[in-house]
Amino acid sequence: MKVIVTGGTGYIGSHTIVDLIQHGFDVVCIDNLSRSSTYALAGIEKITGKTIPFYRIDLCDANATHDVLSAHQDAVGIIHFAALKSVPESVAAPLLYYKNNLESLVNILESIEKLGIPNFVFSSSCSVYGNADVLPVTENTPIKNAESPYAHTKQIGEDIIRNFSKRYPAQASILLRYFNPIGAHPSAHIGEIPIDKPNNLVPYITQTAIGKLEQLCVYGNDYNTRDGSCIRDYIHVCDIAHAHTLALQYLVNKRNDSNCEVFNLGSGIGVSVKEAIDAFEKVSLQKLNYVIGERRAGDVAAVYADNTNATTQLGWQCQYSLDDAMLSAWNWEKKMQELQL
Ligand code: WQD
């Protein structure tokens, strides 16, 4: 069975393509390479032995999008990762984010409906919850104001898909809300290649440890948490990837209860920044150079998932621990240094 993956040369997209291939899918990859490179395709080939069809197109170009999807209208589904995802960048350039993330989504949905491609899996985010009052967060936790234009594009994207699903019952969609994806494929052939300075904690940790960055700043230790630092739900990128394969199989096998379902993808375990640093130091045998600094605007004290729906409905079980993720992130950082990526 064929599946089209947009944003497939990106971090989660490339890991998902590996998992799809390893579970018997033929994959077609679309990406505009604005935030990634074809290096990921070489890594996918090293791991799977497969060279996959790749189309470098901008999904904001409706004609180019329709041409490619028409050429693969026999696909059983589309997994849509392609989007800009930097929170600070979205604050600096909100219109870029609204235009890019939403126009591309509408173009894809228009083609899906015209071509009759039956299944759609959407890359959403825990950031749609905003500053949740109750923990752990379930899929029914009330959606609050988004903390950034990026998160708002995910909220609007979900609403677009919900209304699309009401209008076109022949199409079935799943919205996957990622918590904090971290780590890299155990082979170290693929991983996250940050553009410029990283925004997220784990690449910051590994770049500090390898000497690319001088020091890690822990953004606040005066939160109302067990050790004062923020708590998040860190989830290995390979566990996130496999959830996409399970979600597509769930739709292909028509196990879905409705034609638009939502799933949290988190480990269900809250981990503080200090605990994440301790885990890194333990597995890497590196002492991390960090200081405690001021809080970062927009950070919530704690957020972690209730992943019951994904485990019961999709049959998803996290295979990797925080230590596995930290070690794979460190091995990938060393590989990027070796390859001068
Ligand atoms: C994690 C924790 C920081 C860097 C982001 C996006 C969200 C989603 C997941 C896409 C926080 C602390 C970080 C540093 C630090 N992405 N930190 N020093 O903010 O939870 O979520 O990634 O969907 O949309 O917002 O992740 O990795 O930036 O921060 O102390 O140098 O690490 O304060 O508590 P975040 P993060």
Q: What would the pLDDT profile of 258-281 be if each residue is shown by its tens digit?
A: 999 999 999 999 999 999 999 999
pLDDT over 90 (residue 18):
yes
The verdict on the CB of residue 164 being under 6 Å from ligand 1 is no
Question: Ligand 1 center to residue 89 CA distance, Å?
Answer: 14
- pLDDT-derived band of residue 131, with 50, 70 and 90 as boundaries? confident
Map tokens 């770049």 to a residue.
207
Taking alpha carbons only, the member of 263, 31, 253, 5 closest to residue 120 is: 5
111 Cα: distance to centroid of ligand 1 (angstroms)? 34
**158 occurs within a structural domain:** yes
CA 104, CA 62: separation in Å to the nearest integer?
Answer: 8
Closest atom, ligand 1, to C-alpha of 150: 24
**Does any domain span residue 75?**
yes
What is the model's pLDDT at position 195? 84
pLDDT for 276-333, tens place per residue? 999 999 999 999 999 999 999 889 999 999 999 999 999 999 999 999 999 999 999 9
- Ligand 1 atom nearest to 200, measured from its CA: 27
Is there a domain that residue 222 lies in?
Answer: no
- With respect to residue 292, please indicate whether it lies within any of the assigned structural domains: no
Distance, CA 78 to ligand 1 centroid (Å)? 28
pLDDT at 260: 98
Please name the helix (run of DSSP H) or strand (run of DSSP E) that holds residue 157, with its range, or none: helix 149-167
Q: What is the pLDDT of residue 32?
A: 98
Protein residue closest via CA to atom 21 of ligand 1 = 180
Cα 295 to Cα 221: distance, rounded to the nearest angstrom:
8
Residue 341: per-residue pLDDT: 87
Domain contains 41: yes
- What is residue 48's predicted lDDT score, i.e. its pLDDT? 98
DSSP line for 159-211: HHHHHHHHH-TTSEEEEEEE-EEE---TTSSS----SSS--SHHHHHHHHHHT
Is the CB of 304 within 6 Å of ligand 1?
A: no
273 lines ligand 1 (CB under 6 A): yes
Catalytic (active site) residue 234: no
**What is the mean pLDDT of the segment spanning 105-114?**
98
Of ligand 1's listed atoms, the one at least distance from the Cα of 178 is: 23
Domain of 7? 2-183+235-266
Report the distance separating Cα 68 and Cα 227, nearest Å: 51
Quote the ligand 1 centre to 322 CA distance (angstroms). Answer: 16
Ligand 1 proximity of 219 Cβ (cutoff 6 Å)? yes
Sign of CA dihedral 89, 91, 96, 100: positive
Instruction: Specify the pLDDT at position 199.
Output: 85
pTM: 0.98
Q: Is the pLDDT of residue 111 over 90?
A: yes
- 21-71 tens-digit pLDDT: 999 999 999 999 999 999 999 999 999 999 999 999 999 999 999 999 999
Using the mean position of ligand 1's atoms as its centre, give its distance from the Cα of residue 202 in Å. Answer: 9
Q: Is the pLDDT of residue 74 over 90?
A: yes
Distance between Cα 201 and ligand 1 center (Å): 6
What residues contact 255, with CB distance under 8 A and at least 6 apart?
313
Atom 9 (ligand 1): residue with closest C-alpha? 180
Which residues partner with 38 through β-bridges? none
Torsion-angle region of 18 (φ positive above 0: left; ψ -120 to 50: alpha; else: beta) = alpha
Point out the catalytic residue in the list 11, 55, 97, 150.
150
Q: Ligand 1: which of 135, 182, 219 to mutate, most ligand atoms within 8 Å of CB?
A: 219
Q: Which two tokens stand for residue 136?
A: 């752990």
> Cα separation of 139 and 155, whole Å?
13
CB count, 10 Å around CB of 64? Answer: 17
Residue 137, SS3 per DSSP: strand
Domain count, the chain: 1
The Cα diameter of the chain in Å comes to 56
Q: Which CATH number goes with the domain that contains 166?
A: 3.40.50.720
Asked if residue 159 belongs to a domain, the reply is yes
Residue 271 domain-assigned? no
Question: ∠ at Cα 35 (86, 54), nearest 5°?
Answer: 135
Query: Which ligand 1 atom is at minimum distance from the Cα of 218?
Result: 30
Is 323 inside any structural domain?
Answer: no
Q: Whole-number mean pLDDT of the chain? A: 97
